[in-house]
Amino acid sequence: MVSPAIALAFLPLLLTLIIRYRYYFVLFYRAVLVRIWRDCVTGLSREERAYQYVLVHATPGDPDSILEAFDVWCSKVEYISNIGPKKGKILDRLLMEQSPLTVLELGAHCGYSTVRIARALPLGARLYSVEMDQRNAAIAEKIIRLAGFDDDTVELIVNPSDEVIPRLRADYGLERLDFVFMDHWKKSYCPDLQLLEGSGLLGKGSMIVADNVLFPGAPKFLRHIRKSGLYEWKVHRATLEYSKGIRDGMAELVYQGIK
């Protein structure tokens, strides 16, 4: 029906879209297509494959080598959305400045960020890591123990975050959270933040770091922190983990308390 000439006129548009969004296509290929293919071929889940790799290539007891093994696997072999080396450095710096004693992590996934945070903790600090999924939690537990962190430093809680947060004070005897790291489902950022505010565990100066606020993005979360006026916030701009061209950001919030 439509002549070939008109169809050919759309060619520049196609080329433009492909070139402009090439990083997104690459990400799609690695995160979705390769994963499906490997799932069908090997029968293990993605996290289990990662664990196998880390077991082979990292030295036990050395968190740095574990993190490096993870980075290599995520960049070269397959893709898992850990926090990545660049944003991880920002996280390390924030932790060093803050030196928190009680840290809450929402969304451990494979345990990469848990190991990263635990590595930068001062003596006597304790990290509570919340993970919803059973299998992921099992793998995360193994990785954390492989890194050499014992129960004093890191405690893994296997429950959805909206059930854990109201019971933190009762079950675990926490009075105040110095640092919160959010890396779970993006649509849960805002409800969990509101739960934390309601629970009274945040004090003046508590820092909350939320990952991936620009891609995939958490618009309700950003809107909430802008409007509520309870936080001094800024967004650290970086690129998405293991990808060069996709812009992403980490939101850093410092709780100011009700004025």
- Residue 24 touching another protein (CB under 8 A): yes
Upper half-sphere CA count for residue 198 (Cβ side, 13 Å): 10
212 included as an active-site residue: yes
Residue type, 168: L
78 included as an active-site residue: no
211 included as an active-site residue: yes
- Residue 19 touching another protein (CB under 8 A): yes
Specify the stretch interacting with another protein by CB under 8 A; choose among 14-22, 35-43, 87-95, 99-107: 14-22
For residues 133 and 109, what is the distance between their CA atoms, to the nearest angstrom? Answer: 8
- Residue 21 touching another protein (CB under 8 A): yes
* Least distance CB 24 / another protein (angstroms): 8
From the candidates 183, 192, 248, 252, give the one annotated as an active-site residue.
183
Which residue carries 């696997």 as its tokens? 73
The 33-72 contact track toward another protein, x by CB under 8 A, reads ----------------------------------------
Q: Choose which of 66, 214, 230, 251 interacts with another protein (CB under 8 A).
A: 214
For residue 107, give the nearest of 247, 6, 210 by alpha carbon. 210
* Least distance CB 248 / another protein (angstroms): 10
* Least distance CB 47 / another protein (angstroms): 21
* Least distance CB 26 / another protein (angstroms): 15
Is 78:34 a contact under the CB 8 Å cutoff? yes
Given the DSSP bridges, would you call strands 231-239 and 247-255 parallel, antiparallel or unpaired?
A: antiparallel
- Residue 198 touching another protein (CB under 8 A): no
* Least distance CB 249 / another protein (angstroms): 9
- Residue 173 touching another protein (CB under 8 A): no
Query: 175-207 burial, b if ≥16 CB within 10 A, otherwise e?
Result: eebbbbbbbbbbebbbbbbebbbeeebbeeebb
From the candidates 47, 87, 105, 186, give the one annotated as an active-site residue.
186
For residues 198 and 196, what is the distance between their CA atoms, to the nearest angstrom? Answer: 5
* Least distance CB 15 / another protein (angstroms): 6
The 215-254 contact track toward another protein, x by CB under 8 A, reads xxxxx--x--------------------------------
204 included as an active-site residue: no
Enumerate binding residues for another protein (CB under 8 A). 1-3, 5-6, 8-13, 15-16, 19-21, 24, 186, 214-219, 222
Active site residues per annotation: 183, 186, 211-212, 241
